[in-house]
Amino acid sequence: MNTLSQHSASAGHGKGYSFLVAIGASIGGLLYGYDTGIIASALLFLREDFAITDNAFMQSVVTSATLLGAIFGALLTGPLSDRLGRRKTVIVISLLFALFALGCALATSLTMLIVMRFLLGLGVGGSSQIVPMYIAELAPAHRRGAQGVLFQMMICVGTLLAYAVGYLLGPSGSWEWMLGLAVIPAVIFVVMMLFLPESPRWLVGKQQALRAKAILMRVGRTEQEAGQEVDEIQRLHSQQQSSWRELFQPWVRPALVAGLGIAIFSQATGISAIIYYAPSLLVMAQFGKSAAILGSVGIGVVLTAFTLLGIWLLDVLGRRRLMLIGLPGAVIVLVVMSLLLPWSANAQEILSDTNKVVVLTCLLGYFAFNGGSLSVVTWLYCAEIFPLGVRGKGTALCSFTLWTVNFIVTLLLYFSADALGIGLVFGVLAIVNALAWFFVWGYAPETRGRSLEDIEQSLINGQFNPRQAISLHKINSD
């Protein structure tokens, strides 16, 4: 075999291994999706066992307890990953998933269940911060989009799995099994991470350049490409200090604004909260319990399908354009639902069968438009826009912000729908989705096809804004 053939075979093997790394790490997304999504079905049954059927606020507390834990998990994981390394931190996260999923299943009181779900949230929030960053730091620039959004795809797969399990176990009302089955993928996650490599960018920061180069070659770079990438990482790393103060420097601020804005709107637009309450909201909209759970399975199918479509479009249209195309569709279907559903808590009008079909179709459309655009982009975008020296802290802050907004929206959405009217809630969400579109237009530059070091250099040069990013992309294309 000649040298050229050897390089081709090595590159092919590297591409396969790179994809395996991304898949293995993305199991964290499946656990995130399952552990947050399964409460949607479990809530219909555990609220009867814990006598909170008529207490919408306590149902909201049970649902949002995981999200409160996720806030702390996201905030703590960034600094921990900078100290221990990305891989070891992911292993810690996987152990949290296994331990506290079992704790939820064994809960014998409402207080114990809330505490266990809070502790489970440490793993959920931690995975949302560290897994996308780990994948982004290992993936080549031209495959970072597709590999980075595997995390989001696995969230959708986990959500679909949760809805399917809820539907299958629904007749028995076995909420303990619904919650406890998450232990199985959590154990698989632990085992997978034991065999995956450390982030080469973290290794360079710890003066382990040779090991970093070897890992880059293992995931598909040639020896020359790996050497150049390590040199570029070293150059940028030597110019920075990893501190919270550095994150708030003026030159980093455009990335911080873009990341925090995308994180806020990804949850304020309502998609996660609706996932958690989908069956309960459909029951509130006069669907039967079985029909509501089955409708939720449809939501999981649509969300997964359009996430896959979004993954394909991510590197075809780009992150920015995908969001600008998808969000207007979300606004339209939310407006239609808002007009059809009651605007008061005790409305007496009966929703016709035709209107029920329209409402369910619009709800599925919402998950297609928002789930296939903004939700696909969020984790990847926040993982790729920050400079290396503060990437852990930047993604941690975005995750912290995301989970804080998620917690607030989830705590308020079902309670507000019950107290004020479900139609009013969907009307407010339509406005928020429209505001998200304007934010993306004004503050979110394109990152498609650019290396992490190139994105960082644009920050240093003061060129990290939508207009200049579009100009630079046209120049590079020419």
**pLDDT tens digits, residue range 385-411?**
988 778 878 887 888 898 899 899 988
The two three-digit tokens of residue 341, written as one number: 């559903």
CATH 3.40.190.10, domain 12-196+240-477, yes or no: no
Nearest to 134 by CA among 224, 263, 267, 18: 18
End-to-end C-alpha distance for the chain, whole angstroms? 37
Ramachandran region of residue 421, left (φ > 0), alpha (ψ -120 to 50) or beta? left
What whole-number distance in Å separates Cα of residue 278 and Cα of residue 197?
38
The residue with tokens 């150059």 is 235
Closest CA to 88 of 206, 168, 178, 6: 206
pLDDT band, residue 349 (cuts 50/70/90): low
Sign of the Cα torsion 341, 344, 345, 347 reads negative
Range among 303-312, 319-328, 404-413, 446-455 rated most confident: 319-328
- Look at residue 15 in the predicted model and tell me its pLDDT: 65
Per this entry, what is the length of the chain?
478
Per-position DSSP letters for 279-348, written without gaps between them: HHHHHHTT--HHHHHHHHHHHHHHHHHHHHHHHHHHHHH-HHHHHHHHHHHHHHHHHHHHHHS-SSTT--
Rounded Cα gap, residues 11 and 186, in angstroms: 31
The single-letter code of the amino acid at 126 is G
Q: Which helix (H) or strand (E) holds 54?
A: none
Answer yes or no: are the C-beta atoms of 459 and 255 closer than 8 Å. Answer: yes
Q: Where does the pLDDT of residue 8 fall: very low under 50, low under 70, confident under 90, or very high at 90 and above?
A: very low
Burial track 30-44 (b if 16+ CB lie within 10 A, e otherwise): bbbbbbbbbbbbbbb
pLDDT at 322 over 60: yes
Per-residue pLDDT tens for 41-91? 899 899 889 989 888 889 999 999 998 998 888 778 878 888 888 899 999
CB 148 within 8 A of CB 132: yes
For residue 412, give the amino acid letter. Answer: L
Q: How far is CA 59 from the centre of its chain?
A: 23
Please tell me the predicted confidence (pLDDT) of residue 117.
95
Dump pLDDT digits (tens) for 415-444.
888 888 889 999 999 999 999 999 999 999
Question: What mean pLDDT is predicted for residues 256-275?
Answer: 93
Decide if pLDDT at 333 tops 60: yes
* Per-position DSSP letters for 104-117, written without gaps between them: HHT--SHHHHHHHH
The pLDDT-based confidence of 219 (bands split at 50, 70, 90) is: confident
Residues above pLDDT 70, as percent of the chain: 91
Biggest distance spanned by C-alpha atoms of the chain: 79
Domain boundaries, the chain: 12-196+240-477
Distance CA 393, CA 90 (A): 16
Ramachandran angles phi, psi of 110, nearest 5°: -60, -40
Query: 116-120, 168-172, 346-350, 468-472: which has the minimum mean pLDDT?
Result: 468-472
pLDDT band for position 6 (cuts 50, 70, 90)? very low
Contact, 380 vs 54, CB < 8 A?
A: no
Residue-level pLDDT at 316: 87
pLDDT at 369 over 70: yes
